[in-house]
Copies of this chain bind each other. A is one copy, B any other.
Amino acid sequence: MVPHLVTALNGPLLDLEKKILEATPAIERWFRLEWQEHTPPFYCSVDLRNAGFKLAPVDTNLFPGGFNNLASEMLPLAVQAAMAAIEKYCPDAKNLLLIPESHTRNVFYLQNIARMMQIFRQTGLNVRLGSLSADITEPTPIDLPDGSQLVLEPLERSANGRRLGLKNFDPCTILLNNDLSAGIPAILEDLNEQTLLPPLHAGWALRRKSNHFHAYDEVVKKFAKMVDIDPWMLNPYFAKCKDVNFQERTGEDALVATVDTILAKIRKKYKEYGIKEKPFVIVKADAGTYGMGIMTVHDSSEVRDLNRKQRNKMSVVKDGMEVRDVIVQEGVYTFEQINESVAEPVVYMIDRYVVGGFYRVHEDRGVDENLNAPGMHFVPLAFAQQHAVPDMKAKPGTAAPNRFYMYGVVARLALLAASLELEKTDPNPEVY
């Protein structure tokens, strides 16, 4: 189900956690049955926020970029999960083409690519890198700090135009690690003979956070009923605001009203559960990523009082894409800390398997702020070091509970939501 990793938590098990740990057999059975109906995305990472009274996914990334941050002891798990995924999509595959982000010489990102190549090579595939960048016109080596090397190669369509590959390399499967924020390049269109993973509509050119969280609502409703908890414990309120232009200050009234509504709903819940914290919301671009176009708001007046710099920041996200629609989402405090810095867990999955995780840590950010920002660093989650494997049925005191389990559950709820989201937003359901 979920490997036992060492989390930063060390207080007693909280009610929510206890309830989820106790329902393990029902939960695992439920997931098995859901995966009979829905195909999980090929891979996925989920950012979680743990406020103790509430645990929620705040970002579900379908182009995970931090495989290099997983503990190296997790690799065999990732390889085994990748085998299962490959077997499902393309058992007769020999060649895998991986398409990374363009225009990046970010060493951490390149190490992520190197790690992914290792994983897929270990499943027994030949793996090569194809670049969407027009600057790559011939095989271009890039040296990595560990002395190894990546080679970016120019993509090319086959003579008949039906297939995508590299020179002398015809892949069965094409794996995107490029989130397509800049739009869908023509060279990726109409690939009906090869498996493109994830599909084009998973990219930010088409994907919208609001669709994801709508699907998540649905998933959590079912799940919460089964485990008998308030779905709110796992699900932040959210609402979408269309046509907001921070520069021209259009759509501002609607945004202020939405912020007020969500804050009021949170206040009511905090009162119901006797939570003393101050409610806040996160305003973020409906189609944004990379931690860009995100702000924390405690009072709707803050939306009106943005200064020019803040307005600029909220207007444009990755690859210069303009922000138009935003979502207002209940903010979830993160009460986990590593060395007195605020931390949030990130869970990595391949196919339907949790293959590892790490903490995103930021020294200069508060418990109510986005941590996905320059200055963050990563702390891999290691396997719990114990003689015995954690075992709920073990003699009391002989085995620690797997606190990472709940993270794996909530991350998989987001994974399932992504699966529903991709089904619903598929422009060609019959090809899917």
Check A16 for interface membership: any CB of B closer than 8 A.
no
A76 nearest CB neighbor, chain B only: B3
Q: Is the CB of A124 within 8 A of B27?
A: yes
Question: Is A395 in contact with B149, judged by CB distance below 8 angstroms?
Answer: yes
Binary contact track A381-397/B, C-beta < 8 Å → 1, others 0: 00100011111111100
Nearest-neighbour CB distance to chain B for A130, whole angstroms, equals 16
How distant is A89 from chain B, measured CB to nearest CB, in Å?
11
Interface membership of A364, Cβ < 8 A: no
Please determine whether A28 and B147 come into contact, CB atoms closer than 8 angstroms.
no
Contacts of A36 in B (CB 8 A): 91
Which chain A residues numbered 304 to 363 have a C-beta less than 8 Å away from chain B? 353
Residues of A369-404 whose CB lies within 8 A of B: 383, 387-395, 398
Query: In this complex, what residue of B is CB-closest to A28?
Result: B124
Q: Which residues of B contact A383 (CB under 8 A)?
A: 73, 76
| Interface: A296 (CB within 8 A) | no
Task: Mark interface residues in A20-54 (1 if CB within 8 Å of B CB, else 0).
Answer: 00001111110011011000000000000000000
**A300 within 8 A of partner (CB):** no
Name the B residues within 8 Å of A91 (CB-CB): 29, 32-33, 35-36
Copies, count? 2
**CB distance B388 to A28 under 8 Å?**
no
- Say yes or no for A122: interface residue by CB 8 A criterion: yes
Task: Report the separation of the CA atoms of residues A345 and B172 in the bound assembly, to the nearest whole angstrom.
Answer: 35
Q: Which of B4, B72, B93, B391 contacts A389 (CB 8 A)?
A: B72
Given contacts A147-B395, A395-B147, contact A80 B353 (CB under 8 A): yes
Contacts of A353 in B (CB 8 A): 80, 83
- Contact assessment for A124 and B25 in the assembled complex, using a CB-CB cutoff below 8 Å: yes
User: Within 8 Å CB of A75, what residues of B?
Assistant: 389
In the bound complex, do residue A29 and residue B93 qualify as a contact, i.e. CB atoms below 8 Å apart? yes
Is A123 interfacial (CB-CB < 8 Å)? yes
Q: Does A298 contact B (CB under 8 A)?
A: no
What are 20 A-B pairs at a CB distance below 8 A? A1-B79, A25-B95, A25-B125, A25-B126, A26-B94, A28-B83, A29-B94, A29-B124, A32-B87, A33-B91, A35-B87, A35-B91, A72-B389, A76-B77, A77-B77, A80-B81, A117-B393, A121-B391, A121-B392, A148-B388
Contacts A24-B124, A32-B87 supplied; 13 other A-B pairs, CB < 8 Å:
A1-B79, A25-B124, A28-B124, A28-B125, A35-B87, A75-B389, A76-B76, A84-B84, A118-B388, A118-B389, A122-B390, A122-B391, A146-B398
5 smallest beta-carbon distances between A and B, as pairs: A28-B124, A32-B91, A3-B76, A118-B389, A1-B124
- Chain A residues in the interface with B (C-beta under 8 A): 1, 3-4, 24-29, 32-33, 35-36, 72-73, 75-77, 79-81, 83-84, 86-87, 91-95, 117-118, 121-126, 146-149, 353, 383, 387-395, 398
